[in-house]
Structure 1
Amino acid sequence: MSISRIAVRYATPLLELAEERKVTDAVKEDMASFSTLCESSHDFLLMLKSPIIQNLQKSEILKKIFDGKVNELTATFLDIVTKKNRAKFLPEIAKAFISLYNKKMGYQEAQVTTAVALDAELKAAFEKLVTEITGKKPLLTEKVNPELVGGYTLQLGDQQIDESVRGQLRDLQLKFQKETI
């Protein structure tokens, strides 16, 4: 079974239980914080994925880190998943939870990559574009890549819109290669 399917299998009931207990926003924030910790701390990620560290030790480490800082449901969930030998999947479960939450709340995650940082006017224009394309409220993240030279790329889930100078040059190159063959 793929990691993403496992992650969704764990994230879905967590979301349902959070809704039932009316703590969805708190659990979402906990999962976002957990995801950020996984991205920022390579050592933490290695600890979760280590087959050498016992599940009870991992559970104790997570309790020490998160005790009193996360919702009770989140703490219980982390403990259960860890004791069931699934701690290595926690980073993916957190991302799956956030994705399911955003989908349920009508948000569309989007990433715009440009050669320079966006000002407020351009950011608003991209948010409007995402809303027009998807019909959902945008959650826009920005990325700067000077190699684009100009233009932008917009990632909406598995769809990508490439309006960058680099992308247009690549398209021209492919067109000329086809014509010479």
Structure 2
Amino acid sequence: MAESRVAYRYAKALIELAQEKNVLEQVHTDMQFFVQTIDNNRPLYLMLQSPIVPHAKKYNVMRDLFQSRLHPITFSIFEIITRKNREEVLYGVAKAFHELYNKHKNIHVAHVTTTFPLDDSLRAQFRQMAGETLGKKIELEEKIDPSLIGGFVLRVGDKQIDQSIKSKLQKLEQEFKS
């Protein structure tokens, strides 16, 4: 819990600085790139979390990987956090930054669960369906769950549309038991 509060504070400071310097979109892109890099590279994540790896080594790795690819303001938060020996919160900062960015841009997250990866056409249909539900911009988070058997589950805020075969079979089972 304390780590998430620390990450949120760093993210809030970064978003305010990015807005002040008119580089919010660039910093957001950088933070998304960082999250994607960490998500696709478990050893990098583990290295940042490790209390055994010296902080100087962590900084050198971060500098070599990201300094030339990121806006100076984005990289400066990495430097500050590393200098304070808090590398374990970097990933949380990037995630919190994205949440604050969405809040600032009035973008809501819709979660869709299907049994297969979505193509662009289906993605657009789910965004439209979720957008009509809320009347706002939507960012779609996708999850694959083979246990649904077929269909989908769309969750937007506190509303859920469950059109999965699994839930229909469960309802049918309950009807037969009654």
1:133 maps to 2:154:
no
Distance 1:92 1:167, change over 3 A: farther
Q: Offset of 1:2 from its aligned partner?
A: 3.6
- Within 5 Å, give how 1:44-59 maps onto structure 2: 44-59=44-59
TM-score (norm 1): 0.85
Match of 1:12 in 2: 12
1:104 maps to 2:104:
yes
Match of 2:155 in 1: 155
Q: Offset of 1:133 from its aligned partner?
A: 2.3
Q: Offset of 1:54 from its aligned partner?
A: 1.9
1:89 partner amino acid? V
Match of 2:146 in 1: 146
CA distance in 1, matches of 2:135, 2:3: 29
- RMSD of aligned alpha carbons: 2.3
Q: Offset of 1:118 from its aligned partner?
A: 4.1
Q: Offset of 1:146 from its aligned partner?
A: 3.3
- Within 5 Å, give how 1:111-130 maps onto structure 2: 111-118=111-118, 120-130=120-130
Match of 1:73 in 2: 73
Note the alpha carbon deviations across 1:7-40, whole angstroms, 9 max, x for none. Answer: 2111111000000001111111110011011111
CA distance in 1, matches of 2:151, 2:30: 35
Distance 1:167 1:2, change over 3 A: farther
- Segments of 5+ residues of structure 1 without an aligned counterpart are none
Match of 1:43 in 2: 43
CA distance in 2, matches of 1:10, 1:156: 27
Q: Offset of 1:117 from its aligned partner?
A: 4.3
CA distance in 2, matches of 1:67, 1:157: 37
Match of 1:22 in 2: 22
> When the two structures are aligned, how many residues end up with a matched partner?
178
2:70 partner amino acid? V
- Segments of 5+ residues of structure 2 without an aligned counterpart are none
1:58 partner amino acid? K
Distance 1:34 1:119, change over 3 A: closer
Q: Offset of 1:136 from its aligned partner?
A: 1.6
Give the match's secondary structure for 2:22: coil
1:91 partner amino acid? Y
TM-score (norm 2): 0.86
Share of identical aligned residues, percent? Answer: 39
Match of 2:32 in 1: 32
Stretch of structure 1 that moved more, 144-153 or 48-57: 144-153
